[in-house]
């Protein structure tokens, strides 16, 4: 079947499904099932084609169409819930019945989950569309789309489940799919290593989360959100404290918060569309979603919430500082994600859960746009990532450059783009509630964010062309038009998403408080201060890098090397954890495994083998040997009989 014919048929199928969904729109339970299972069907379809038809275009088109179907169903559910209707609940089957523990496999669409569903499906559908072009020449084409759609399905299970255990199933599914996608090019040693790092580090955190879930069940007797949150007032305060701590450790792993952060930058070894999905709509946002979903639990333990806010402020600054000096384009954007996650946790920790979720939503659009733009640049530069080897790409990549600049302005928080409405709210609540140190840290971080964002833009798209010096035969080019069309909706949302704040607040007000501190006349002064410093940072970056940047001798300074080496934390982990563990493993292998375990097993085997060798003479068939064994046997029986006789008489 020709490629164009496949696309036409897929388009016709999409239109038919769209009409069917509109026709069945009044049935919210059906829409829930469609939104949830459409990505799974797409994943299974691509997986079935993996061995049969390498690089079959239909293996990408079908899951992409099904992602758009899931998107439509999610948006219809969004409008349904916005209409003031009750949450939609569907129970598929009884799941666990053990003693007094009864749990159904159920899902719920309420104001919190429907916001996440909409964000996940919007970003995922566009990333699937973009990936058709990005992965077109890859031998693992079918496998990639099977994994990618499974990733989305796992995230949908996570956000739509109506209980903590169902959330944990989706949580682990996301972890598995991230492992498969980060290590997608498993032939590369570092890609395989990065996938293992992400998987293992998250398993450590997930163990704590699982213990927290057990603790909740022990105290409440149920894992359904509705039951757990209704019982919080009757639960022992110490138990609440530890449940909140253990759940947050799980969130720290999934959202790469310090000290479980090192896997996030190394995860850039996966294909760029994977990075866009992980950072914008799936894996790393799951930790923020967990805290927002359990807002009633965290509101009851202020000590844990305050720790979350403090840690978030540190991570925001910490990640931004590393982005200031990094030369790897994808790692800079990854550190930006880590920094913005810090902002989200600050909002959640201070009790403004709606602001955290709002920033998660707006951030998803411009962060996905940045990563997809980076993918275009990588294709143009034959996978080169060093921004100091680029320069002058604006002339040949204007659409990509413009969209990445839009995303960078949104990330910096400039009015009227989306980042202004959500990120500045976090600064506002920190200042308004009197957390001045947190506010000051976030303000400095906002300035750093603006600087490194436009450092990237200037070094990649403007200034003197550097690539001819390093790659004389390179001729950069713009990405295919249909890939740019996949990015365009994200660019639009990066501009306008902030204006939906009012509707969003009305939507989530049923499930969490949506107030803001009263700043009075300070409100506009605070906005002016933040915008002024951010714009000054952008101007400084543009001015400095339009003139060649900083003197290379600065790269020899302690501060530069400290930041470039990620505060020497990976080196510390290597010295304190990896090397001692490696030595312990070598000792256990050489001294215990080889000398004790293997020796014991081999001794048993040699003894049995030797006994067998000695007893072979019994089966030679020689009459003389057989007579000797008969005599020996009779003699043994006679001796035993005599011994038995003496024993009986003695008794």
Q: What is the 3-state secondary structure (H, E, C) of 91-127?
A: EEEEEEEECCEEEEEEEEECHHHHHHHHHHHHHHHHH
Confidence of residue 151 (pLDDT cuts 50, 70, 90): very high
The alpha-carbon radius of gyration of the chain (Å, integer) is 31
- Least confident residue range of 168-182, 319-333, 453-467: 453-467
Q: Let me know how long the chain is.
A: 651
> Among 72-76, 181-185, 596-600, where is mean pLDDT lowest?
596-600
* Nearest Cα to Cα of residue 362 among 302, 424, 318, 275: 424
Is the pLDDT assigned to residue 14 strictly greater than 60? no
pLDDT digits (tens, 9 = 90+) for 254-266: 998 999 999 998 8
Query: Given this model, what pLDDT does residue 569 score?
Result: 92
pLDDT at 409 over 60: yes
pLDDT at 99 over 80: no
pLDDT digits (tens, 9 = 90+) for 22-56: 555 568 898 999 999 999 999 999 888 866 556 67
Element containing residue 29 per DSSP (H, E): helix 28-48
Q: Is the pLDDT of residue 2 over 50?
A: no
Q: How confident is the model at residue 521 (pLDDT cuts 50, 70, 90)?
A: confident
CB of 423 closer than 8 Å to CB of 413: yes
Predicted local confidence at residue 12, as pLDDT: 52
Query: Tell me, what's the pLDDT at 207?
Result: 94
What is the pLDDT at residue 18? Answer: 58
pLDDT, tens only, 366-383: 999 999 999 999 988 888
88 bridge partner residues: 109
* 3-state SS track over 188-217: CHHHHHHHHHHHHHHHHHHHHHHHHHHHHH
Q: What is the mean pLDDT of residues 496-515?
A: 91
Task: Give the three-class secondary structure for 133.
Answer: helix
Task: Please report the pLDDT score of residue 555 as a whole number.
Answer: 79
Which pTM does this prediction carry? 0.88
Rounded mean pLDDT of 446-453? 95
Stretch 190-210: mean pLDDT: 92
Helix, strand, or coil here: 222?
Answer: coil
Out of 166-170, 351-355, 594-598, least confident range:
594-598
Q: Is the pLDDT of residue 8 over 70?
A: no
pLDDT higher than 50, residue 481: yes
Identify the band that residue 649 occupies on the pLDDT scale cut at 50, 70 and 90.
Answer: confident
Give me the chain's average pLDDT, please: 88
Average pLDDT over residues 142-166: 93
More confident residue, 581 or 26: 581
pLDDT band at 1 (very low <50, low <70, confident <90, very high): very low
Give the strand pairing for 101-109 and 88-98.
Answer: antiparallel
pLDDT digits (tens, 9 = 90+) for 212-260: 999 999 999 889 999 999 989 888 889 999 999 999 999 999 998 999 9
Inform me whether the pLDDT recorded for 303 exceeds 80: yes
Percent of the chain topping pLDDT 90 = 56
CA atoms within 13 A on the CB side of 384: 18
413 in Cβ contact with 534 (< 8 Å): yes
Return the DSSP state at 474.
-
What CA–CA distance (Å, rounded) separates 498 from 496?
Answer: 6
Q: What single DSSP character describes residue 260?
A: S
Q: What percent of the chain shows pLDDT beyond 70?
A: 94
Confidence of residue 442 (pLDDT cuts 50, 70, 90): very high
DSSP output for 320-375: HHHHTT--BHHHHHHHHHHHHHHHHHHHHHTT-HHHHHHHHHHHHHHHHHHHHHHH
- Whether pLDDT at 619 is above 80: no
């Amino acid at each position: 079947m020709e490629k164009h014919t496949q696309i036409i048929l897929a388009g016709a199928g999409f239109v038919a499904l769209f009409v069917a969904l509109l026709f069945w729109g009044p049935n919210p339970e059906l829409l829930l099932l469609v939104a949830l299972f459409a990505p799974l069907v797409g994943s299974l379809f691509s997986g079935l084609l993996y061995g049969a038809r390498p690089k079959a275009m239909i293996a990408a088109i079908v899951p992409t169409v099904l992602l758009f179907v899931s998107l439509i169903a999610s948006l219809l559910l969004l409008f349904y819930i916005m209409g003031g209707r009750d949450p939609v609940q569907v129970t598929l089957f009884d799941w666990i019945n053990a003693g007094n523990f009864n749990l159904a496999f159920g899902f719920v669409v309420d104001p919190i989950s429907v916001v996440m569903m909409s964000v996940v499906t919007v970003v995922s559908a566009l990333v699937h569309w973009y990936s058709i072009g990005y992965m077109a020449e890859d031998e693992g084409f079918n496998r990639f789309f099977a994994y990618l759609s499974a990733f989305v399905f796992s995230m949908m299970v996570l956000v739509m489940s109506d209980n903590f255990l169902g959330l944990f199933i989706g949580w682990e599914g996301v972890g598995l799919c991230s492992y498969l996608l980060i290590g997608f090019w498993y032939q590369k040693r570092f890609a395989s290593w990065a996938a293992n790092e992400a998987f293992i580090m998250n398993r450590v955190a997930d163990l704590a989360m699982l213990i927290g879930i057990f603790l909740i069940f022990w105290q409440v007797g149920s894992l359904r959100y509705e039951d757990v949150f209704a019982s919080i007032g009757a639960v022992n305060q110490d138990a609440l404290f530890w449940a909140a701590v253990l759940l947050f450790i799980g969130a720290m792993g999934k959202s790469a918060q310090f000290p479980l952060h090192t896997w996030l930058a190394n995860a850039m070894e996966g294909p760029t569309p994977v990075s866009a999905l992980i950072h914008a709509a799936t894996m790393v946002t799951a930790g923020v979603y967990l805290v927002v979903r359990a807002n009633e639990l965290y509101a009851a333990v202020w000590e844990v919430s305050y720790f979350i806010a403090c840690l978030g402020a540190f991570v925001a600054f910490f990640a931004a500082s590393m982005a200031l000096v990094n030369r790897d384009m994808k790692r800079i954007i990854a550190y930006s994600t880590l920094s913005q996650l810090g902002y989200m946790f600050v909002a959640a920790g201070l009790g403004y859960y709606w602001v955290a979720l709002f920033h998660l939503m707006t951030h998803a659009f411009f962060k996905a746009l940045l990563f997809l733009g980076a993918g275009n640049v990588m294709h143009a530069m034959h996978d080169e990532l060093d921004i100091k080897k680029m320069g002058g790409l604006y002339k040949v990549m204007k659409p990509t450059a413009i969209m990445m600049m839009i995303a960078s302005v949104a990330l910096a928080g400039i009015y009227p783009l989306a980042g202004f409405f959500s990120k500045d709210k976090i600064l506002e609540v920190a200042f308004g509630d009197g957390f001045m140190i947190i506010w000051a840290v976030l303000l400095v971080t906002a300035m750093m964010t603006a600087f490194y964002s436009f450092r990237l833009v200037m070094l990649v798209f403007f200034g003197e062309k550097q690539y001819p010096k390093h790659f004389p035969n390179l001729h950069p080019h713009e990405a295919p038009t249909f890939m740019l069309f996949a990015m365009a909706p994200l660019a639009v949302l990066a501009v306008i998403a902030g204006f939906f704040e009012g509707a969003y607040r009305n939507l989530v007000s049923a499930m969490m408080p949506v107030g803001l501190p009263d700043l009075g006349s300070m409100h506009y002064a605070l906005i002016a201060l933040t915008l002024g410093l951010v714009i000054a940072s952008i101007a400084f970056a543009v001015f400095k890098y339009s003139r060649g940047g900083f003197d290379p001798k600065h790269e020899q300074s302690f501060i530069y090397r400290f930041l470039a080496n990620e505060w020497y934390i990976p080196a510390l982990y290597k010295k304190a954890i990896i090397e001692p563990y490696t030595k312990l493993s070598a000792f256990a292998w050489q001294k215990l495994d080889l000398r004790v375990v293997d020796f014991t097993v081999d001794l048993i085997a040699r003894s049995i083998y030797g006994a067998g060798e000695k007893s072979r003479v019994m089966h030679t068939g020689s009459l003389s040997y057989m007579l000797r064994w008969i005599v020996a046997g009779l003699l043994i029986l006679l001796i035993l009989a005599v011994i038995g006789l003496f024993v009986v008489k003695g008794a």
